[in-house]
Structure 1
């Protein structure tokens, strides 16, 4: 063998050994981590994960190592939580210890770690408190925000009517509606869907979402305050990104699922006709009288399983969890898909069935296992807004249109297209026929 090749191999072997020693020393004496697969030098357990379907790989590992297990991703230690009991015990029962956001280089690259979504400690507490207070002042949870969504639902219906029943991809329109709701809250302004500034904003949100989904002014006098311009800008940015992409993706997925199940659309039509009719717009008071439609909206979110691995947390201090001692700073991955697809709570979880949220009498049935917005102290800030949007937009569309697929419903593929840690609906077209 060429001496130079031998030298290179020897160097790589030395580096690998040093890294293994480094990892070993890093965890030495700092607690007892949960069991897990043996990591390889440098890359850890990466080869044991299907990067196109990370959540499925993690669920398979949970069958072997239990509901709490460890992985080594490069030099990063990760503790995975599988199942409702483990996630509840960590994020709710020990919420303070598990409330930190894990360090993610991609966020450092995009926004320097600023904003409520990725910050920790006092910065996170101040920004979350400010965000919640501001959202309440702007109408979140009140009649005023519902009226904004109802108004946007009318614009949405009018835009869909412009398609004149011809085949179209609804992605742009379904993305514009929730984005405009955020605009009405933040800027107190509704934009036309073809407005150039509005289009540019959507492009920015879209490009940033793709990056972040991949696997990889009075305040100068108060230097300790976290209400800096940069932090506030990135906090608003999080509201736009999360409030636009998650809702629009769920809506687009939802329409595709309904196209495959025309019998479900028919039941929704019957309930809408009985409770609302056609002379007025849907409102949130209607939801309590529409258990089937409410169940369909919930089942769409459960079935879509938008963020199967959740957003990684980290422990804020050395933490005793069950029989383990997890060192401060360890990344925690709450596997939300394991809760949303629990086969005891949701029989036949991979089958779309609104009955998962209905009791024997046809009344709506709540479930603690419904976690599309995560749970605990890091639960999504915009949960209330998203719930209202999904119900009002979905109901308005079914109220005003007959959804016509371009192919036989039996041939429609609702399997998601993997996009790193999140899911997106496969491209499709349909016809919106005014009813």
Structure 2
């Protein structure tokens, strides 16, 4: 054997030793796909991530499994009991967001969604208090939502029963609720700036969990210097931040924050108070304000708008269920009665339908990732400090052991034998534990008022020649429906 052959043999032996050592040090970790050099277990994913990937991995490796992203362990947690153990029983250890390369590039550990520690706690607490001051849970904000719902009804009515794409009008209506809360004003549907913001949010969310996103996380030192969708996604998030800066400058010029009307006013007032007190641990600054606005706009608009788009699609595909909702509303209320969120108690079937929409078409690929802050033992497995945690909430919402017909649109999942609404613990679309969605109450109110307003006014029908709307999703961070058109035919009482 020559020197060259000896070197190759030594290299092979070294790689085998490294591989065996890796297996030994990870012997207490959860099971998962074989981790190969450089790529880890990413061979299991393939070129494109499917919406049921985490469910398939759980079936093969169990409810707590490990998928290696290069050298980074990603712990996938599936099933109600495992998720409860991780997100609730160990919420302190699993409350951080990952400090991944893309998260740092777009979130900069600011704001609410992508921040950690003291910054996260202070910004989240302030946001929740301010939303309450601005009327969340009271008639003030509900009236704003009702106004936007009426604007949406009028937009649909202008189509005169002809096929229309509901996507942009729905996004505009939901966005205007957030804009009123955050900026103190609304956008028109034709506003170019609004359309650019919607496009930017769409580009950013579709990039997350894409193949290029995974490559960016694995090889950031290379990807930063290469063109591709990652550059476009980072620019898209920056555009949203840029708009937040513009709106903040307008508020500062108007000096309106001493009589606060919106979130920016309250935040600027808080900054002024903290500067006068000279509080050393304060995280109230303009960068955190800009990222809070970005969080509101992306999380508060994209998620609810996507959920409503799925809702209209499902109701159009199931006219029998749609008719039952309309009949319940007509039987309970007169045509002149303005429906408010408290009325949901009088509409058990409608409430069940709204819950079932969210269950069947959960709009996130998985819950937003967490990061483990210390070594934790869960169900005999070691979850190491620094591991990313992917909470697969879809596995609970589609669990065949907990739902009678998990793959079907079946409102009876949330009704008892007497037709009363049943709130189920397996219903976790807003997450659980310390990082439960802070906008849950607002999202619930919006879904109810928007849907009941539309269904009172119109019967949603398939366009001529269309037998059914597609149910498969466009996969990104959000699972969006493919573009579709429906006919909103006015009810006699409305027309």
Structure 2 length-normalised TM: 0.80
Moved more, 213-222 or 56-65: 213-222
| CA displacement at 1:123 relative to structure 2 | 1.4
1:82 aligns with 2:78: yes
In structure 2, the partner of 1:58 is 54
Contact 2:458–2:488 (Cα < 8 Å) also in 1: yes
CA deviations on 1:230-251 (whole Å, 9 max, x unpaired) are 1121012111111111111111
In structure 1, the partner of 2:137 is 141
In structure 2, the partner of 1:202 is 198
CA distance in structure 2 between the partners assigned to 1:180 and 1:213 by the alignment:
28
In structure 2, the partner of 1:112 is 108
In structure 2, the partner of 1:189 is 185
CA distance in structure 2 between the partners assigned to 1:323 and 1:156 by the alignment:
52
In structure 1, the partner of 2:436 is 379
Moved more, 93-102 or 406-415: 406-415
| CA displacement at 1:422 relative to structure 2 | 2.5
1:224 aligns with 2:220: no
CA distance in structure 2 between the partners assigned to 1:40 and 1:50 by the alignment:
14
Superposition CA RMSD, Å: 2.7
In structure 1, the partner of 2:453 is 396
CA distance in structure 2 between the partners assigned to 1:395 and 1:203 by the alignment:
27
**Contiguous gaps of at least 5 residues in structure 2:** 214-270
| CA displacement at 1:73 relative to structure 2 | 1.4
| CA displacement at 1:65 relative to structure 2 | 1.9
In structure 1, the partner of 2:259 is none
In structure 1, the partner of 2:478 is 422
CA distance in structure 1 between the partners assigned to 2:17 and 2:302 by the alignment:
39
Contact 1:44–1:74 (Cα < 8 Å) also in 2: yes
In structure 1, the partner of 2:390 is 333
| CA displacement at 1:84 relative to structure 2 | 0.1
Contact 2:473–2:481 (Cα < 8 Å) also in 1: yes
- Distance change >3 Å, CA 70–CA 306, structure 1 → 2: same
- The alignment covers a number of residue pairs equal to 425
CA deviations on 1:83-124 (whole Å, 9 max, x unpaired) are 000000110111111111123322222232322101111111
1:292 aligns with 2:346: no
Contact 2:352–2:414 (Cα < 8 Å) also in 1: yes
In structure 2, the partner of 1:264 is 321
| CA displacement at 1:56 relative to structure 2 | 2.1
- Distance change >3 Å, CA 213–CA 238, structure 1 → 2: farther
| CA displacement at 1:147 relative to structure 2 | 1.3
CA distance in structure 1 between the partners assigned to 2:344 and 2:293 by the alignment:
29
For 1:246-261, what aligned pairs fall within 5 Å after superposition?
246-261=303-318
In structure 2, the partner of 1:431 is 487
CA distance in structure 2 between the partners assigned to 1:307 and 1:104 by the alignment:
19
| CA displacement at 1:320 relative to structure 2 | 2.4
In the alignment, which of 327, 345, 355 is matched to residue 402 of structure 2? 345
In the alignment, which of 19, 22, 25 is matched to residue 24 of structure 1? 22
CA deviations on 1:344-394 (whole Å, 9 max, x unpaired) are 221120111111111111111111111111111111111111111111101
| CA displacement at 1:169 relative to structure 2 | 0.7
In structure 2, the partner of 1:3 is none
CA distance in structure 2 between the partners assigned to 1:159 and 1:19 by the alignment:
67
| CA displacement at 1:269 relative to structure 2 | 1.0
Contact 1:315–1:327 (Cα < 8 Å) also in 2: yes
CA distance in structure 2 between the partners assigned to 1:319 and 1:272 by the alignment:
50
Contact 2:98–2:388 (Cα < 8 Å) also in 1: yes
